[in-house]
Amino acid sequence: MKMSNSTFLITGGSSGIGLELVKRLLEHQNKVIICGSTLEKLEQAKHQFPSIFTFQCDLSVPDECTRLANWVAENHPDCNVLVNNAAIVHKDTFLSGEHIPQQAHAEINVNLLAPIILTKQLLPVLLGNPNSAIINITTGLVYTPKTAYTFYNATKAGLHSFTQVLRKQLKQTPLRVIEVLFPAVDTPWHGGNPPKIAITPEKAVNEMIIGIGKGKAEVRVGGVKMLYFLSRIAPGFSFRMLNSLARG
């Protein structure tokens, strides 16, 4: 697909990988719409990139996903690329966490259910425009889980599986279904304590754009390539190695 002269909707586009992607897309004559739950972050993004369009919503609430989709369909019917990037994580352990059920509900809603709802409701808009695509952002942790994340790995593994099924079901349409699997990236998502192996957002997005430009359906960025390989030939070793690195 072309990464220029298109209209992108990026969920979670006000910081981290999403914001870096905004920057790169604007450099190639794209129209960019972002959504986020925090008005202050959206306003900061708008100040940094005045040409973008912003929409505040809480993707953990299914009705808010519908509200976003309806707004895009009405105000930006030229939208041809949906980037499901928004994600949340909690680090409480299953045994000790006091709000485990609530945390599971929130992560499943934002990380998995929101992309499903937005994809379904924006499908007519996307199919009605040329050069259309759905880009789902996941992680190398779909292959080997990180034990510090009680639910995050599972939600992203679910999105990985859904993406594969969706790609097959939409094979006869012009709509491309792409998955980008990131390693650890040095963004605010890590709360100021990124792992030592984290790469920069610039490097992450650059590899993403190159991979999509080459026509890849699954773009494995950075160390995800090695993690994918190890998880196939030595899953036990892959699990021990990843979680040893995570403690570092």
Could you tell me if residue 88 is left (phi over 0), alpha (psi between -120 and 50 degrees) or otherwise beta? beta
Q: Which letter, b or e, does each residue of 127-153 get, where b requires 16 or more Cβ atoms within 10 Å of its Cβ? A: eebebbbbbbbbbbbbbbbbeebbbbb
Interatomic CA distance for residues 86 and 10, integer angstroms: 8
How far, CA to CA in Å, does 66 sit from each of 57, 87, 116, 118, 182? Answer: 10, 17, 11, 7, 27
Residue pair 133/209 in contact (Cβ under 8 Å)? The answer is no
| Options 143, 149, 152, 228, the catalytic residue | 152
Residue pair 140/157 in contact (Cβ under 8 Å)? The answer is no
The yes-or-no answer on residue 152 being catalytic is yes
3-state secondary structure of 98: coil
Interatomic CA distance for residues 153 and 128, integer angstroms: 34
CA atoms within 13 A of residue 37's CA, in its CB half-sphere: 10
Q: What are phi and psi of 27, to 5 degrees?
A: -70, -15
Calculate ∠ Cα 67-71-74, nearest 5°: 140
Catalogue the active-site residues.
Answer: 152
